[in-house]
Structure 1
């Protein structure tokens, strides 16, 4: 079960706490099964820790830009005024494969309600990313970040992802409201974080 903690410290202090740990693994559903079994062989991921940041301690909005798989430019400005869920992933990551259906189900639930989803693919080519999305039924867009790393860098300056996958909830002002390190065990925790962000007025 996720350990959920609330932090009132400024984001700058969080950013200084650790370097990124973006571990590698091969692409296989066998590895997804291995991840579910908890063996952890050849893979290091986050432990599911949830951190929520108080509204008054979130610091500045995160300014990012990149390109989607089809070459369409995308930036933080496109999501101004909306809640944004950002998920860092790649196709060969076992927990990314496990959590994909939960992310898609929440995307479908909140689509059209002022909540957007954006994947950030860290390592894959366009064809590899597309194959994953087709296989897992993922329909929200992803930035291909492997060549420039610009989106990862933008978030690393405030709340480092520190593991793959990492999921961030961005508030209506473009600030990081919450971070989940590691795979979602189910949709309920992220659903609660999204609901909290929607309800905020400050």
Structure 2
């Protein structure tokens, strides 16, 4: 009997520990319908290949001090996610973005975050908390990356996620929180298949 109780107590302790690691009060509050202080997005826009505008061009400094540009990813599909650390939907979607990033990493699709509000320390703390493996450009001071995306298909909410084709043109936009990993995965797969 004491062996069963020890096993049960261990299972409960491990579950509580894992639950504590995975929980984020701000994200949970948002998912439960709280925090109405965010501009919500509610749509996916796909742009047919024949209707895409000129390639997006941007350069910025990452939260680790490296210079990164869109042209570094020429010939690859590039997912660009606009976010900031205190944004509840950004926190809620972070695990899904990371999972899709890990799936496509090294297979012709890359990810870049664009932090529109925070400094390097806050951005890096977010990356550690949510195990984000892709780089993030700091855009709070200059707004240069946001400006590069300004136009007909701009990031009108935070978060906003873009899928750029292999030439750097906007192929799709997810306005607001990514609702399902499969949505982004399908958008990437479709853009990867173009011209094949």
- If the length of structure 2 is used for normalisation, what is the TM-score? 0.85
What is aligned with 1:198? 192
State the secondary structure of the residue aligned to 1:31. helix
Paired residues for 1:30-179 under 5 Å: 30-47=25-42, 49-179=43-173
**RMSD of equivalent CA atoms:** 1.5
- The 3 A distance-change label for structure 1 pair 37 and 111 is same
Which is higher, the Rg of structure 1 or of structure 2? 2
What is aligned with 1:22? none
* Whole-angstrom distance in 2 between the partners of 1:106 and 1:51: 19
> Residue deviations 1:37-58, cap 9 Å, x none?
12343222212x1000000000
* Whole-angstrom distance in 2 between the partners of 1:131 and 1:50: 29
State the secondary structure of the residue aligned to 2:103. helix
- The 3 A distance-change label for structure 1 pair 64 and 158 is farther
Structure 1 residue runs of 5 or longer lacking an equivalent are 1-28
* Whole-angstrom distance in 2 between the partners of 1:34 and 1:44: 15
Decide whether the 8 Å contact of 1:106 with 1:187 is kept in 2: yes
- The 3 A distance-change label for structure 1 pair 165 and 154 is same
Q: Which one is further off, 136-145 or 71-80?
A: 71-80
- The size of the alignment, in residue pairs, is 174
Structure number with higher helix proportion? 2
Structure 2 residue runs of 5 or longer lacking an equivalent are 1-23
* Whole-angstrom distance in 2 between the partners of 1:199 and 1:37: 37
> Residue deviations 1:101-132, cap 9 Å, x none?
11111111111111110000000011111111
